[in-house]
Structure 1
Amino acid sequence: MVAKRELDGGTVHDLPDDLAAALRGSAEAAATWRDITPLARNEWICWVTSPKKPETRAKRIAWGLESLGEGKRRPCCWPGCKHREAGQ
């Protein structure tokens, strides 16, 4: 179990509760999360929160946990957070 205080958000996006809960349940994914940059965390958060359907969001959280657990630092095939430039 990973403590909530160890999981920071991104440069523009705060860490949503559902993604934080999922990360706390996976030591491997949480370790990668803590190791990646705030900009990379921002990309993951935006990718997870961008779908309109809750089912798609749940699938992205599951895939994200698996990918982060394997050490992947960015979501695959994601053009990047469209909100980033507005927040920097």
Structure 2
Amino acid sequence: MTGEQQLAGGVVHLLPEDLQQALLAEPAITAAWQDITPLARNEWICWVEDAKQAATRAKRIGRAQEELAAGKRRPCRWPGCAHREKTGKA
């Protein structure tokens, strides 16, 4: 997989560059990302973007890498993207 590859975003959220680069860092993480639904991808993106500080965002990106590699499909203990109501999907 090349660094130029574009991964899919979520239902509402576009995939930010820093998260995309982290997802492309390991083939197993890339495969896990491609295997989850657009709504699940949306949850990960929103969770990362919800961080108020750069340090928190970096920690969440690292945790996303770990959890996706471990087979988790959604962020743990995340109440869900508040923006998804805009899509009509719950």
| CA deviation map 1:17-52 (0-9, x unaligned) | 000001111111111100000000000000011011
Q: Can you give the 5+ residue segments of structure 2 that lack an aligned partner in the other structure?
A: none
CA distance in 2, matches of 1:72, 1:25: 17
Equivalent position of 1:33 in the other structure: 33
Q: Which runs of 4+ in 1 moved over 6 A?
A: none
- 1:45 and 2:45 correspond: yes
> Per-residue displacement from partner, 1:38-83 (whole Å, max 9, x unpaired)?
0000000000110110000000000100110111100000000001
Q: Which runs of 5+ in 1 are unaligned?
A: none
TM-score (norm 2): 0.91
**Root mean square deviation, CA, Å:** 1.2
Q: Which has the higher contact order (CA 8 A, sep 6+)?
A: 1
TM-score by length of 1: 0.93
Aligned sequence identity (%): 57
Distance 2:23 2:48 in 1: 13
Aligned length: 87
Instruction: Find out whether 1:81 has 2:77 as its counterpart.
Output: no
Post-superposition shift, 1:87? 3.4
